Amino acid sequence: MRLLMWWSGRALSSAATLLGVSVLIFAAVRMMPGGFAETVLGPFATAEQEAELAARYGLDQPVLLQYGHWLAAVGGGDFGVSMISRQPVGAELLARLPITAELTVLAVAASALFGVPLGVLTAVRARPGGGGAAGRLLSGLGVSVPEFVLGSLVVFVFSRHALGLEVGSWVPLTQDPAANLATMVLPAAVLSVFAISVTARTTRDAVMGVLVEPYVTAAVGRGESPWFIVRHHILRNAATPVVTLLGTITAYLLGGALIVEHVFNLPGVGSYIVQAVGRRDYAVVQAGVLLAAAVFIVMNVLIDLLVGVLDPRLGVLAGRRS
Amino acid sequence: MKKLDRLTVGGLACLAVLVVFALGSLVGAGGDPDAIVGPRLQPPGPGWWLGTDNLGRSVLPRVMEGVGTTLLLSSVAVLVTAAVSATFGIVAGYRGGYLNELVMRLVEVLYSFPAIVLAILVAAVLGPGQTAALASIVLVTIPLMTRLVRAAAVAVSQRDYVTSAVISGARLPRVLGRHVLPNVAGTIAVQGTYALSVGIAVEGGLSFLGFGVQPPQASLGVLIQQGGTYMIAAPWLILGPGVVLVAAILAINVVGDGLRDRLEPRETRSLT
Amino acid sequence: MSLLAVRNLVIDYAETRALDGADLDLARGETLGLVGESGSGKSTLGSAVGRLLPTTARRTEGEVLVAGEPVFDLPAREVRKLRKKHLGFVFQDPIASLDPTMRVGNQLRLVLGRGGDVRFHLGRVKLDDPRVLRAYPHQLSGGMAQRVAIAMAMATSPELLVADEPTAALDTQVREEVLNVVFSLAADAGTSILWLSHDLPAVARRCDQVAVMYGGRVVERGPAREVLGRPVHPYTAALAGSAPAAAGHGVRLEPVPGRPPVLTGPSPGCAFAPRCAFAEERCDHERPQPVLVREQEVLCHRAAELSEAETPREVTA
């Protein structure tokens, strides 16, 4: 019951945030420079053409109404029409989403698979004064190499020595899964480096926090083995910050995917947004940015659900606070 | 005072070298970044220690100028962030109530955007350029710092010495400035360090996509973007600025870690 | 051979010295109350028995023998075996010493293994309510949680139970019940108890032996009645004098004016000298060696003369 209240509280606050996000994006798009009529129609449009365009996009109405229309449309899944391609933005986004999703899922999987064990291992072996300088440097390096640098480097190396992996092309998953993977491995790897490092660092911090808890000392005092203690007492108690991080990381990866798709020339949502900004294609920009923020917020709601299950104290704490 | 560990000292030294590097370009050390000094796309050699670009300009002075642009932009942005976050974080944390609610809501909204996506949105509104890069870094780094400053301010404002200052009739600005600010300064310093590295990455990414600093001005992101075109023939065009960029971010992160470990030393326990 | 023997144990943290040459013995089946102010090194000594010190702690000198095994010089695997077979621990904060994400029943099952009878072990600590099994630690009262912790520690019938102020965090009413459970279980199983406590009258009532700690050393030890009834060391005398029977049990000790020392290295003389009414010149720079007075071992240069007086308080320095 308390848990349910905690969950609904979190969901409500997320909805408020999403509303704030939508206002911000709407305001931003209206503030963008240059009449987009000019962008769409070219410099020699007549006044009638411009008026007709403004009517079609609702530009002659008060701003608040425009926002209302826009919100209603967006809520119904209608993101408007691309001013360049004249195609519905929603359909185009949907067609490109699988690529970005695949990239992100691969990177999240890699961080869970490599980052979590790495973090647990380094925490359990930590000694006062921190680990060795080499280990700290390496973990620091992982969070310090931006995707566009690493990506450029990888493109350079693999364009010279392909090693069976494709660079700069893309094959749909449905067409040939093996060939698809060959084209996705490198971009996903570039995207993963940061995610793995951050996951490892967060896991390490979380585990070190749990290690000094009295119940761990109690388990050590009962003569349990390190592996037993990690498995039964540490993993679950250290899980909350790590699981929470996965939400933040998903958002981060969406941003990283934008750069990686651009560098590797993948037709995903990210490269779509980059192109749209260059062409001042407002409908696409607003839809893409809204999508990224919405995914982040929804991810966080899901993670709150999970955290509520993982930590039995949360529901009670929330109940006490209210 | 405890001695700084070796890694942190190394990070500080690396940063000092980069700053000297950037200052050097101001007095013309390394040569004129716009002068054509030799044939195009030459590998590193005497006369052009980091090679030449597609116009025959020496890469070294361009990297030096680029470091300067990147560091200056990021530092200014982080100072703005620190000022804004400190103000709002402290007031929200100390005052609580509606103001707190409002600030945290706004922060939450900003936090919902992936960094580079927010940067792109800003660039779309302001138009590509230095201002967009600056504003992006500020907006990207504000949420986390404000949150942490607020949390620290909440903790501090419940302590006895603050209560006693209030009881003894100190005015609000004095309480915040004299008692709360010094106690959240550590948080601001650590987060500011991390924000600086985020700022450098955001400037790089935005300029790399073509929406940040505009050529002919050099920034590390611009250089890497331009080098990408000739990467196959002349990899030194991205290697030079790439290595410098990574070194800058790494050095700052290492210093941040050192600072954090010093301000909040961690206990460990052995499982054996 | 005694079950537990601590020999000249010196434990250092980064900049402070927690134990400055502590000696202690405990025979099988005996109960020993380890008393002293906060910061006297009680907890460090208690943790050292099972090598449970934080990683910042360093054993600089001395050794701890449990059932003849040198705890600090054993390989990790042997220490685990020793803890499992011979040792049990109960800590100050009962709720924090249970895993917060696991139901109590599951935690007990984890400790007892497959064949363990969870109900039986809970019954031994007088917890018969089956709802306890399904509860999470934060849903229990402190007293209930401590009983669960005791059941877990005593499940293997260890030879030595180290109880670090197990009742300090509990309400006064539950203290006696919890102590009754501990001491009766231990008596049944033949378990020795090393009880770290602030509660002098309770120690006097329940323990065979008492050891008094000050400045990281055991300054007086011997049979409880002797040590607390006819103390020799001025510090013990002050402790015992300031905890009159009239005050009853459960009273925290704050006996002597001044503060206990914070050592950064070996104390040059007697650590108590600055607060001692009987201190002489040599107390400041000569470390006292153990002296046997009647049945107790005392670390005091003037032990012999002080013990001759009816009570040390009347001796004029």
pLDDT band at A190 (very low <50, low <70, confident <90, very high): very high
Mean pLDDT of A99-118: 92
Domain map of chain A by residue range? 2-75, 95-310
User: Closest Cα partner for C61 from C270, C217, C220, C211?
Assistant: C217
pLDDT band at A167 (very low <50, low <70, confident <90, very high): low
Inter-chain CB proximity B209 and A262 less than 8 Å: yes
| Residues A292, A293, A299: CA angle, nearest 5 degrees | 90
DSSP chain C: --SEEEEEEEEE-SS-EEEEEEEEEE-TT-EEEEE--TTSSHHHHHHHHTT---TT-EEEEEEEEETTEEGGGS-HHHHHHHHHHHEEEE-S-TTTTS-TTS-HHHHHHHHH-TT--HHHHHHHTT---THHHH--GGGS-HHHHHHHHHHHHHTT--SEEEEESTTTTS-HHHHHHHHHHHHHHHHHHT-EEEEEES-HHHHHHH-SEEEEEETTEEEEEEEHHHHHHS--SHHHHHHHHHS-GGG-TTPPP--SSS----BSS--SS-TTGGG-TT--TGGGTSPPPEEEETTEEEE-TTHHHHHHSSSGGG---
Q: Is the sign of the CA dihedral A116, A118, A121, A123 positive or negative? A: negative
Q: Of A10 and A227, which is predicted with more confidence?
A: A227
Q: Return all residues near C238 (Cβ < 8 A) that are at least 6 apart.
A: C255, C256
SS3 A224: coil
Highest mean predicted confidence (pLDDT) among A5-19, A51-65, C159-173: C159-173
Looking at A121-135, B229-243, B247-261, C206-220, which range is the least confident one?
A121-135
C316 touches chain B (CB under 8 A): no
| SS3 sequence of C48-113 | HHCCCCCCCCEEEEEEEEECCEEHHHCCHHHHHHHHHHHEEEECCCCCCCCCCCCCHHHHHHHHHC
pLDDT band at A320 (very low <50, low <70, confident <90, very high): very low
Cα–Cα dist C206/C202, whole Å: 6
pLDDT at position B250: 93
Cα–Cα dist B104/B153, whole Å: 14
| Residue type, position A3, single letter | L
How many Å lie between the alpha carbon of C214 and the closest alpha carbon of chain A?
25
Touching partners of A (3+ C-beta pairs < 8 Å): B, C
Which of B1, B269, B271 should we substitute to test contact with C (largest number of C Cβ atoms within 10 Å)? Answer: B269
Domain map of chain C by residue range? 2-308
User: Closest Cα partner for C29 from C207, C295, C196?
Assistant: C207
Instruction: Find the helix packing angle between B130-157 and B181-209, rounded to 10°.
Output: 160
Chain B and chain C share a number of CB contacts under 8 A equal to 12
Inter-chain CB proximity A236 and C56 less than 8 Å: no
Cα–Cα dist A79/B102, whole Å: 29
Touching partners of C (3+ C-beta pairs < 8 Å): A, B
Inter-chain CB proximity C80 and B272 less than 8 Å: yes
Q: What does the block give as tokens for C298? A: 């005392």
Inter-chain CB proximity A237 and C152 less than 8 Å: no
B143 touches chain A (CB under 8 A): no
| Residues of chain C with C-beta less than 8 angstroms from the C-beta of A129 | none
pLDDT at position B1: 45
Mean pLDDT of A286-300: 87
Burial of C290 (0-12, 13-18, 19+ CB in 10 A): middle
Regions in chain C scoring below 50 on pLDDT: 243-253, 312-317
Q: What stretch of H or E contains A179?
A: helix A177-211
pLDDT at position C312: 46
Instruction: Using CA coordinates, name the residue in chain C closest to A224.
Output: C80
pLDDT band at A231 (very low <50, low <70, confident <90, very high): very high
Third-level CATH fold of A95-310: MetI-like fold (1.10.3720)
Inter-chain CB proximity C153 and A222 less than 8 Å: yes
Mean pLDDT of A111-120: 92
How many Å lie between the alpha carbon of B229 and the closest alpha carbon of chain A?
10
CATH of C2-308, one of 3.40.50.1100, 3.30.310.220, 3.40.50.300, 3.40.718.10: 3.40.50.300
Which of C47, C55, C84 should we substitute to test contact with B (largest number of B Cβ atoms within 10 Å)? Answer: C55
Inter-chain CB proximity B268 and C76 less than 8 Å: no
Mean pLDDT of A239-250: 86
Say if residue A229's pLDDT is above 60.
yes
pLDDT at position C243: 46
Cα–Cα dist C221/C209, whole Å: 7
Instruction: Using CA coordinates, name the residue in chain B closest to C77.
Output: B272
Inter-chain CB proximity B268 and C56 less than 8 Å: yes
| Residue type, position A285, single letter | V
Residues in chain B: 272
Q: pTM of the predicted model, to two decimals?
A: 0.83
Cα–Cα dist B55/B59, whole Å: 10
Inter-chain CB proximity A233 and C97 less than 8 Å: no
Instruction: Using CA coordinates, name the residue in chain A closest to B228.
Output: A152
Cβ-defined contacts of B166-174 (< 8 Å, 24+): none
pLDDT at position C316: 39
Cα–Cα dist A151/A163, whole Å: 16
How many Å lie between the alpha carbon of B206 and the closest alpha carbon of chain C?
44
Preceding amide of B216 cis, omega within 30? yes
Instruction: Using CA coordinates, name the residue in chain A closest to C155.
Output: A222
Chain A and chain C share a number of CB contacts under 8 A equal to 76
| Residues of chain A with C-beta less than 8 angstroms from the C-beta of C153 | 221-222
Cα–Cα dist A310/A239, whole Å: 8
Q: Nearest CB to C101: which of A217, A220, A237?
A: A237
Instruction: Using CA coordinates, name the residue in chain A closest to C110.
Output: A232
Q: Return all residues near A110 (Cβ < 8 A) that are at least 6 apart.
A: A188, A189, A192, A195, A196
pLDDT at position A165: 62
User: Closest Cα partner for B216 from B33, B42, B49?
Assistant: B33
| Residues of chain B with C-beta less than 8 angstroms from the C-beta of A293 | 112-113, 117
A236 touches chain C (CB under 8 A): yes
Share of chain A above pLDDT 70, in %: 85
A220 touches chain C (CB under 8 A): yes
Mean pLDDT, all residues of chain B: 86
Inter-chain CB proximity C84 and A222 less than 8 Å: yes
Q: Nearest CB to C110: which of A127, A232, A313?
A: A232
Q: List Cα–Cα distances, B174 to A194, A290, B152, B159, B168, in angstroms.
A: 42, 42, 18, 16, 12
Say if residue A38's pLDDT is above 60.
no
Q: Write out pLDDT tens, residues B172-198.
A: 788 888 778 888 888 899 899 999 999
Beta bridge partners of C64: C6
How many CB atoms are closer than 10 A to CB A121? 15
Say if residue A30's pLDDT is above 50.
yes
| Residues of chain C with C-beta less than 8 angstroms from the C-beta of B262 | none
Mean pLDDT, all residues of chain A: 81
pLDDT at position B3: 64
| SS3 sequence of B53-80 | CCCCEEHHHHHHHHHHHHHHHHHHHHHH
Inter-chain CB proximity A127 and C55 less than 8 Å: yes
Cα–Cα dist A277/A267, whole Å: 15
Which of B116, B142, B220, B246 should we substitute to test contact with A (largest number of A Cβ atoms within 10 Å)? Answer: B116
Rg (CA), chain A: 24
Q: Give the ipTM.
A: 0.87
| Residues of chain B with C-beta less than 8 angstroms from the C-beta of C55 | 267-270
Chain A and chain B share a number of CB contacts under 8 A equal to 160
B55 touches chain A (CB under 8 A): no
| Residues of chain A with C-beta less than 8 angstroms from the C-beta of B125 | 28, 31-33
Domain map of chain B by residue range? 62-263
Q: For C136, how many CA atoms within 13 A lie in the half-sphere containing its CB?
A: 12
Say if residue A129's pLDDT is above 80.
no
Touching partners of B (3+ C-beta pairs < 8 Å): A, C
B267 touches chain A (CB under 8 A): yes
Mean pLDDT of B227-254: 87
Q: Nearest CB to A237: which of C84, C97, C99?
A: C99
| Residues of chain C with C-beta less than 8 angstroms from the C-beta of A127 | 55
| Residues of chain C with C-beta less than 8 angstroms from the C-beta of A225 | 80
Inter-chain CB proximity B245 and A146 less than 8 Å: yes
pLDDT band at A314 (very low <50, low <70, confident <90, very high): low
Identify the CATH homologous superfamily for domain B62-263.
MetI-like (1.10.3720.10)
How many Å lie between the alpha carbon of B40 and the closest alpha carbon of chain A?
19
Q: Nearest CB to A214: which of C81, C97, C152?
A: C97
A125 touches chain C (CB under 8 A): no
Which of C47, C53, C56, C97 should we substitute to test contact with B (largest number of B Cβ atoms within 10 Å)? Answer: C56
